[in-house]
Amino acid sequence: MKDFANQILQAAAIAITGHIHPDGDCIGSCLALRRYILDNYSSKQVDVYLEPIGSEFLFLDGASGILSECTEKKYDLCFVLDCSSEDRFTPFADIVKCAKTVICIDHHISNQGLGDFCKVDAKASATCEVLCQIFSFDKISTACASCLYTGIVHDTGVFKHSNTTKATMMYAGSLLEKGVDNAKIIDETFYQKSYVQNLVLGQALLNSRLTANGQIMFSSLSAEELEQYEASSADTNGIIDQLRSTKGVETAVFVYPLKEGGYKVSMRSNNKVDVAVIAQKFQGGGHIRAAGCTLYHTLEEIYQKIIPKIEEQL
């Protein structure tokens, strides 16, 4: 990535953005890159653009300065992180479009190439792991390392998903050496749930259905239910993992309403089903064992469309 350093050196104003409904890897990678540039390249102006982030991530360096509204500012360089396609950064499309140079760094198998330079490693557990490959390790500060570690923790489900490799663990180990508070990051950003989040999880479990001899677990929450618990879509994080880890389940599907309309469909599989292929059939994307899409149908229609595609593979 000689281009990476050259492009930063040539740019004065740099924007960084990631995908809609930012998760731990998206937030971690954007903030890690910001910190790395500020630490190692003098007099750069770096702005991070993301939709509002969960309060559990606010302790990360630079989190409170994230811009959540698009501006008309023009940038010399724009980084697009953890995004597999253009529809994933729509709120900030103008920032990306108007930048002189766009660099995409990602780990989604469905990424067909974005921007002027694109680095995609589908074997990397997280975009934060791809950044570990690109950054000079001796130039990573504790603050930057904490952001990188957060991203890896979230996209690997705390080092337990099948995307966790020897390289993932080696990078995570090196980040620990930088002074990362791993217990705080794992407990407070991954496992800790608010009371509302627990209520919503309980409702989702009550709403769930098992099919295909218990190999598929489907659940959904309605807009009315989210309203009843005064929950936002961010409060549904983690529900899909509870479905997936149910004994006998190979593939889990969780569906919730988006405030902008339509339903978000999240899919996870354990060993057999390629959920990225299914998501792509519905204009979504992701990874083999974790993928998603947005559908504009009723909950029952979504069930009827998605379940047969999983059964075909089973």
Q: Pick one of 51, 82, 225, 250: the residue that binds Mn ion (CB under 5 A).
A: 82
Q: Pick one of 125, 220, 266, 269: the residue that binds ligand 5GP (CB under 6 A).
A: 266
Q: Pick one of 17, 110, 150, 269: the residue that binds ligand 5GP (CB under 6 A).
A: 110
Q: For the CB of residue 155, give the shortest distance to ligand 5GP in the complex, in Å.
A: 7
Residue length of the chain: 314
Closest-CA residue to 37 (of 19, 59, 12, 57): 12
Q: Can residue 154 be called a binding residue for ligand 5GP (CB under 6 A)?
A: no
Q: For the CB of residue 157, give the shortest distance to Mn ion in the complex, in Å.
A: 12
Q: How many CB atoms lie within 10 A of CB 206?
A: 9
Nearer to ligand 5GP, 61 or 235 (CB): 235
Nearer to Mn ion, 61 or 155 (CB): 155
Q: For the CB of residue 288, give the shortest distance to Mn ion in the complex, in Å.
A: 13
Q: State the burial class of residue 128 (Cβ atoms within 10 Å of its Cβ: 0-12, 13-18, 19+).
A: buried
Stretch that binds ligand 5GP, among 5-13, 42-50, 128-136, 284-292 (CB under 6 A): 284-292
**Which neighbouring-strand residues pair with 16?**
48, 79
H helical segments located in the chain: 2-10, 24-40, 93-98, 127-134, 142-155, 166-177, 182-184, 195-207, 223-228, 239-244, 275-281, 299-313
Calpha distance 127→171 (Å, rounded): 12
Q: Pick one of 51, 155, 235, 250: the residue that binds Mn ion (CB under 5 A).
A: 155
Give yes or no for a contact between 266 and 276, defined as CB atoms under 8 angstroms apart: no
Q: Can residue 106 be called a binding residue for Mn ion (CB under 5 A)?
A: no
Q: Can residue 244 be called a binding residue for ligand 5GP (CB under 6 A)?
A: no
Q: Which does 266 bind (CB under 5 to 8 A by kind): Mn ion, ligand 5GP, none?
A: ligand 5GP
Letters for 52-91 (x = contact with ligand 5GP by CB under 6 A, - = none) are --------------------------------xx--x---
CA separation, residue 275 to residues 109, 133, 145, 151, 259 (Å): 11, 27, 31, 21, 24
Nearer to Mn ion, 127 or 237 (CB): 127
Q: Can residue 25 be called a binding residue for Mn ion (CB under 5 A)?
A: yes
Q: Can residue 129 be called a binding residue for Mn ion (CB under 5 A)?
A: no
Q: Can residue 29 be called a binding residue for ligand 5GP (CB under 6 A)?
A: no
Nearer to ligand 5GP, 75 or 92 (CB): 92
Q: Which does 252 bind (CB under 5 to 8 A by kind): ligand 5GP, Mn ion, none?
A: none
Letters for 287-306 (x = contact with ligand 5GP by CB under 6 A, - = none) are x--xxxxx------------
Q: Which does 46 bind (CB under 5 to 8 A by kind): ligand 5GP, Mn ion, none?
A: none
The DSSP result for 261-305, as a single string, is SSEEEEEEESSS--HHHHHHHTT-EE-SSEEEEEE-S-HHHHHHH
Q: Can residue 161 be called a binding residue for ligand 5GP (CB under 6 A)?
A: no
The secondary structure element, H or E, covering residue 17 is strand 13-17
How, if at all, do strands 45-49 and 77-81 pair? unpaired
Query: Strands (DSSP E) along 19-124, which ranges?
Result: 45-49, 77-81, 101-106, 117-120
**Residues that bind ligand 5GP in the complex, under the rule CB under 6 A:** 19, 23, 84-85, 88, 108, 110, 266, 284-287, 290-294
**Residues that bind Mn ion in the complex, under the rule CB under 5 A:** 25, 82, 126-127, 155
